[in-house]
Amino acid sequence: MSETQNILWIHGGRVIDPANNRDESADLYAVDGILVDALSDAQKAAARKVDATGQVVAPGLVDIHVHFRDPGQTHKESIQSGSEAAAAGGYTSVVCMPNTNPVCDNAGTIQRIVDTVRRSAVIRVYTTGCLTIGMNGEQLAPTGQLKEAGIVAVTDDGKCVQSNEIMRRAVEYAHMFDLPVMDHCQDASLTEGAVMNEGEWSLKLGLRGWPKAAEDIIVARNVILAELTGAHIHMQHVSSAASVDILRRAIARGIRVSGEASPHHIEFTDACLEDYDTLYKMNPPLRTEADREALIEGLCDGTLACIATDHAPHSPTEKDQEFDYAPFGIIGLENALASTLETLYHSKRCSLSQVIALMTHKGAELCKLNAGTLSAGAPADICILDPDEAWTVDPEKFFSRSRNCPWSGRSLRGRVKGTYVAGRQVFDGNAITV
Query: Mind telling me the catalytic residues?
Result: 310
Q: What are phi and psi of 149, to 5 degrees?
A: -75, -15
Euclidean distance between CA atoms 428 and 419, whole angstroms: 7
Q: Minimal CA–CA distance to 312: which of 284, 274, 277?
A: 284
Q: Which secondary structure element, helix H or strand E, spans residue 217, and what is its range? A: helix 213-229
How far, in whole angstroms, is CA 28 from its chain's centroid?
26
Which candidate, 95, 2, 77, places its Cα nearest to that of 43? 2
**Beta 124-127 vs 91-96: how paired, if at all?**
parallel
Calpha distance 13→304 (Å, rounded): 29
- Pairing verdict, β 124-127 and 154-155: unpaired
Query: How far apart, in Å, do the first and last CA atoms of the chain sit?
Result: 26
Question: Using CA atoms, how far apart are residues 132 and 155, in angstroms rounded to an integer?
Answer: 8
| Edge-to-edge order in the sheet of strand 233-235 | 154-155, 181-183, 233-235, 257-261, 306-307
The CA radius of gyration of the chain, in Å to the nearest whole number, is: 21
Give the CA-trace dihedral at 233, 236, 239, 243, to 10 degrees: 0
Residues 6+ apart with CB under 8 A from 158: 97, 99, 135, 184
